[in-house]
Structure 1
Amino acid sequence: MVVLANPTAGRGRHRGLLPTVLERLGTAGRPVRLLDARTPAEAQAACHAAVADGAAALVTVGGDGTVHLALQAVAGTPVAFAPVPAGTGNDFAVETRFPAEPLAAVDAIVAALAAGRTRRVDLARMTGADGTQRWYGAVLAAGFDAIVNERANRMRWPRGPRRYDIAILVELARLRPRRYTLRLDGEEHQLDAVLVAVGNGASYGGGMRICPAADLTDGLLDVVIAGPVSRATLTRIKPQVYQGTHVEHPMVRSFRARTVELDAREITAYVDGERATSLPVTVTAVPGAVRLLG
């Protein structure tokens, strides 16, 4: 069993848990190896190498970004996967019913290993204009939230969460609808929108249920779009995302499809909270693409 850990996940609040996590995983009766990686690129390469080298299981200790790196290696393979939620956002772990408390999640993983118990859930496969493919487990954002992330990532000051608060204020002031071309299983729609999400799972951003009806086992993607709403309306809608009730607003539309093609000018998509690629993209639901322990 190999373990990919991000000691800075969750602003480092679970940093001291790693020795205990490794010790408890070892009680499953398999050798446990911690992957040596200092950057995201090294982490992804280490996961691919471990899978190619015959790892029986890959466990992440971190948040959705750490899960995202690991999924690139285990998707479409028989290698079992499990997340120990220790990040700021743990949406994939929550959506796949792992305990929210890290050591409780470890105990659940050990019990699944002992019982030989696994289950399969869907992933989304995203293909960029250059043919590059990435897998994701939670949500692709390609509207206001993605634009805010782009601005925050360009900012050098302030550090920490306040940077995103400022980015939100700046982008709210600049808010304007964008014209999107959306194809759902080949059927084209032209839409003006400020918020666009393509969900394999229901939530992103640490519990924001942007695609509340998404099911990780139905072989479909959920698409949620907020139309050309004003700043005031978007400000009112956004808090409702945590309960998933924003979809009841008359300017919010929901769709479901196996394949989603999405295009708009000057938009960079984010998946699982990570910067992905500029639009256009094609997203395909892949049933049972990852085998979970539990």
Structure 2
Amino acid sequence: MIVSVGGDGTTWEVVSGMTAGRGRPRRHALMVIPAGTGNSNYRSHWGETPWPLALEAALGAPDDRVRHLDLAWISELARPVVLGAGAGLTAQVLQDAREVKVTGPARLEAGLARAAARFTPYEGRVTVDGTVVHEGPTVFANVGGGRFRAWQYDVLPRSVLDDGLLDVCIAGSGTPPAALPGLLRTGRHVLEPGAVYTRGRQVVLERLDGAPLCFEHDGELLPPARSRYTLEVVAGALPVLCSPAPDRSRAAARDGK
């Protein structure tokens, strides 16, 4: 096993080494120990189980705990995405969090409240597997496999870590930015007017006014340089020690399928 001790940024660095050149690790599985700010990878893998208990379970029956999780690949940057990527408000949070003096999860919580209070939607477009699923005022567009961001925000509530697809959630003009901190804690943002939730293998995020897209992945805010990013799924690329796969029949019933 390879152990990542840190937050989501540390996990991304470890996975980047494990999958260099879009490789697929064959001999080693990843175990995440939460010691960072958000620790959302750990929560996506183990829920709220204390990490010593999770580690004991992983070491006690490793063959029963290995799942091959999906990654995403950013074509324009030739780099992987582990937890997820976001454009708009969920990226602006990281900029605003830099101006907050508190530390830990409270820093990201304060950053979201600050960003939501003054965020202006941008003109955006999201295309999934060649089909435009959203075009117009955009509050945020999130893509990935991990359900949670900043530990407490259930951004992609229907996500399954190893289903071979990227989950996509878009908040449009029907969602007041100021209401999102409360909605994201419970996943109720997907029920707001104009919200889009879908899945696919390729996702294109764009800003249509020519300005750079505010974009992040794995908790890292990228420099404002591009108005378009393309993400493609890399199915089953990363062996991870984590909770067993959920009952897919119950997950399908939950989603109304």
TM-score bracket, normalised by the shorter chain, equals 0.7 to 0.9
Structure 2 contact 58–65 (Cα < 8 Å) conserved: no
Counterpart in 2 of 1:88?
A: 37
* C-alpha distance in 2 between matches for 1:216 and 1:168: 25
How big is the shift at 1:101?
Answer: 1.6
Partner of residue 136 from structure 2, selected from 167, 187, 191: 191
- Could you list the structure 1 runs, at least 4 aligned residues long, displaced by more than 3 angstroms after superposition: 157-174, 276-279
AA in 1 matched with 2:66: T
Answering whether residue 126 of structure 2 is matched by residue 178 of structure 1, we say: no
Counterpart in 2 of 1:13?
A: none
Q: 1:116 to 1:187 in 2, by over 3 A?
A: closer
What TM-score results when the alignment is normalised by the length of structure 1? 0.69
Counterpart in 1 of 2:218?
A: 272
Answering whether residue 7 of structure 2 is matched by residue 63 of structure 1, we say: yes
Q: 1:266 to 1:197 in 2, by over 3 A?
A: same
The runs of 5 or more residues in structure 1 that have no matched partner are: 1-56
Partner of residue 145 from structure 1, selected from 78, 84, 90: 90
CA RMSD, 1 decimal: 2.6
Structure 1 contact 85–100 (Cα < 8 Å) conserved: no
Instruction: Please give the per-residue CA displacement for 1:189-238, whole angstroms capped at 9, x wherever unaligned.
Output: 523211211122211111311111111111111111111247xx322233
The runs of 5 or more residues in structure 2 that have no matched partner are: 243-257
Identical-residue share of aligned pairs (%): 29
Q: 1:287 to 1:152 in 2, by over 3 A?
A: same
What TM-score results when the alignment is normalised by the length of structure 2? 0.78
Counterpart in 2 of 1:102?
A: 51
Counterpart in 2 of 1:263?
A: 206
Answering whether residue 241 of structure 2 is matched by residue 293 of structure 1, we say: yes
The 3-state SS of whatever aligns with 1:218 is coil
Structure with larger RCO (C-alpha < 8 A, sep 6+): 2
Structure 2 contact 125–135 (Cα < 8 Å) conserved: yes
AA in 2 matched with 1:184: V
Structure 1 contact 112–293 (Cα < 8 Å) conserved: no
The 3-state SS of whatever aligns with 1:121 is strand
Q: 1:151 to 1:238 in 2, by over 3 A?
A: closer
Structure index of larger Rg:
1
How big is the shift at 1:185?
Answer: 0.9
Structure 1 contact 147–267 (Cα < 8 Å) conserved: no
Counterpart in 1 of 2:169?
A: 224
Q: 1:58 to 1:164 in 2, by over 3 A?
A: closer
Instruction: Please give the per-residue CA displacement for 1:137-191, whole angstroms capped at 9, x wherever unaligned.
Output: 22211111212312443x4x74646766775565445422211122211223523
